[in-house]
């Protein structure tokens, strides 16, 4: 408070002095009361401000010390991905390995394994694929899937695609229409029993198909563009060399998980092709990433290469890999 100067009374006589002193006391008393009033008013205003601030804070986020992200097991997802957190960019990201986001411009290639599942070799192959974090497509026989559903369940759970390869590996063009339809239905039922998912792709045994097979197939027919003949030459080195020599963007590799030599070659193939910049995908992923919608009853040899390939990237011809002719004729 600014210092106030009070006038010193001019003393003429005693009574005048007494009056002047009384007047001065009154003035001092007035100033003291004014100062006290200002202090009290200030205190009231500060208290009011605090009450309003408290009322405004109700319903907002808890204080920082209570906002520490909790463990996944003790949080619900609403809490983890709260809309306010998302807006502020302060959300918690689960610590699971990120799934690679592909856009189709990568060098893509699909490993496919026919005729399984095998009781010993297929689990061994699944171990190799899990270690390399590589997805593949298994064209299973219905009879084997029904006999070893646990292996099919595992393959599906580990991110691999399960396709149909018929029930007993018959030459399908030789079957009656009724037998053909029964074969398709039985195989799909065995796959659904193990995975709860109907297959989206089908590979005819020996690659044999005709119009009747195509027209009755519930799925697209997936053939191949690389055949290392692993069933003929049971040698891991031969299989490995044939695959890596023919590897191209968009290719589908035909292998069999019922041969130990093939399973032995798979880790070498994966390491080699990864080093050369290839990304492994399932058959359905391969076509989806290249913008191709697989159509039931249509046959595919491979996917088209990346839309804007680098001139130095090895690619297949730009045709979509369709094969509508009848190889039996
Ligand atoms: Zn086969």
> Which CATH number belongs to the domain containing residue 262 in this structure?
3.20.20.370
pLDDT digits (tens, 9 = 90+) for 43-76: 545 554 444 443 443 333 333 333 333 232 233 3
| 15 and 44 belong to one structural domain | yes
Q: Is residue 1 part of a domain?
A: no
Instruction: Please indicate whether residue 80 or residue 35 has the higher confidence score (pLDDT).
Output: 35
Q: Is residue 249 part of a domain?
A: yes
User: Token pair of 218, please?
Assistant: 């519930």
Q: Are 322 and 299 in contact (CB under 8 A)?
A: yes
pLDDT band of residue 105 (cuts 50, 70, 90) is confident
Q: Is the pLDDT of residue 32 over 80?
A: no
pLDDT digits (tens, 9 = 90+) for 264-294: 999 999 999 999 999 999 999 999 999 999 9
| 139 and 235 belong to one structural domain | yes
Domain count, the chain: 3
Q: Is residue 322 part of a domain?
A: no
Q: Which helix (H) or strand (E) holds 216?
A: helix 211-216
Centre of ligand 1 to C-alpha 317, Å, is 26
| 286 and 249 belong to one structural domain | yes
| 159 and 243 belong to one structural domain | yes
Q: Is residue 61 part of a domain?
A: no
Give the pLDDT score at 321: 53
| 88 and 44 belong to one structural domain | no
Give catalytic status of residue 114 as yes or no. Answer: yes
Q: Is the pLDDT of residue 92 over 60?
A: no
**C-alpha–C-alpha distance, residues 23 and 36, integer Å:** 20
Give the pLDDT score at 327: 38
Q: Is residue 328 part of a domain?
A: no
Give the pLDDT score at 166: 98
CB count within 10 Å of CB 93 equals 9
Give the pLDDT score at 324: 46
Tokens 């396709």 sit on residue: 163
Centre of ligand 1 to C-alpha 140, Å, is 8
Centre of ligand 1 to C-alpha 51, Å, is 78
**C-alpha–C-alpha distance, residues 177 and 172, integer Å:** 9
Centre of ligand 1 to C-alpha 9, Å, is 123
Which long-range contacts does 323-326 make (Cβ < 8 Å, 24+ apart)? 323/223, 323/299, 324/298, 324/299, 326/209, 326/210, 326/211
Give catalytic status of residue 256 as yes or no. Answer: yes
Task: End-to-end CA distance of the chain: give it in Å, rounded.
Answer: 111
| 180 and 234 belong to one structural domain | yes
pLDDT digits (tens, 9 = 90+) for 311-329: 565 656 555 455 444 433 3
Per the prediction, the chain carries an average pLDDT of 79
Q: Is residue 136 part of a domain?
A: yes
Catalytic hit among 118, 160, 209, 256: 256
Q: Is the pLDDT of residue 81 over 80?
A: no
pLDDT digits (tens, 9 = 90+) for 167-193: 999 999 999 999 999 999 999 999 999
Q: Is residue 265 part of a domain?
A: yes
* 14-23, 115-124, 246-255: range with lowest mean pLDDT: 14-23
Give the pLDDT score at 317: 57
Q: Is the pLDDT of residue 195 over 80?
A: yes
| 163 and 40 belong to one structural domain | no
Phi then psi dihedrals of residue 162, to 5 deg: -110, 120
| 168 and 82 belong to one structural domain | no
Residue numbers of the domain that contains 77: 68-96
| 40 and 157 belong to one structural domain | no
**C-alpha–C-alpha distance, residues 89 and 69, integer Å:** 14
Tokens 């399908």 sit on residue: 172
Give the pLDDT score at 38: 55
299: helix, strand or coil: strand
CA distances (Å), origin 226, targets 56, 60, 126, 223, 301 = 69, 61, 21, 10, 9
Q: Is residue 80 part of a domain?
A: yes
Q: Are 140 and 257 in contact (CB under 8 A)?
A: no
Centre of ligand 1 to C-alpha 307, Å, is 32
| 74 and 195 belong to one structural domain | no
Give the pLDDT score at 99: 61
């Amino acid at each position: 408070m600014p210092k106030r100067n009070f006038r010193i009374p001019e003393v003429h006589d005693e009574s005048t002095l007494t009056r002047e002193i009384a007047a001065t006391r009154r003035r001092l008393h007035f100033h003291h009361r004014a100062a006290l009033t200002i202090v009290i008013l200030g205190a009231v205003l500060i208290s009011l401000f605090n009450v309003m601030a408290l009322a405004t804070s109700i319903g907002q986020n808890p204080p920082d010390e209570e906002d520490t992200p909790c463990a996944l097991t003790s949080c619900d997802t609403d809490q983890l991905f709260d809309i306010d957190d998302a807006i502020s960019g302060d959300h918690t990201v689960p610590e699971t390995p990120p799934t690679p986001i592909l856009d189709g411009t990568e060098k893509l290639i699909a490993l496919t394994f026919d005729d399984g599942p095998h009781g010993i070799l297929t689990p061994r192959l699944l171990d190799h694929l899990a270690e390399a974090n590589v997805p593949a497509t298994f064209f299973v026989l219905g009879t084997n899937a029904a006999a070893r559903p646990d292996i099919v369940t595992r393959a599906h759970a580990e991110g691999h695609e399960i396709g149909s390869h018929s029930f007993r590996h018959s030459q399908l063009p030789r079957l009656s229409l009724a037998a053909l339809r029964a074969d398709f239905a039985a195989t799909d039922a065995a796959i659904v029993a193990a995975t709860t998912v109907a297959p989206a792709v089908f590979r005819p045994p020996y690659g044999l198909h005709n119009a009747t097979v195509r027209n009755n197939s519930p799925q697209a027919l997936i053939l191949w563009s690389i055949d290392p003949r692993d069933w003929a030459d049971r040698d891991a080195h031969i299989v490995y060399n044939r695959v890596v020599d023919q590897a191209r963007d968009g290719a589908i590799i035909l292998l069999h998980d019922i041969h130990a030599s093939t399973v032995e070659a798979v880790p070498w193939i994966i390491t080699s092709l990864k080093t050369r910049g290839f990304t492994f995908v399932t058959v359905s992923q391969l076509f989806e990433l290249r913008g191709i919608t697989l159509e039931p009853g249509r046959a595919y040899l491979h996917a088209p290469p990346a839309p804007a390939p680098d001139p130095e990237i090895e690619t297949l011809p730009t045709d979509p890999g369709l094969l509508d002719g009848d190889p039996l004729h």
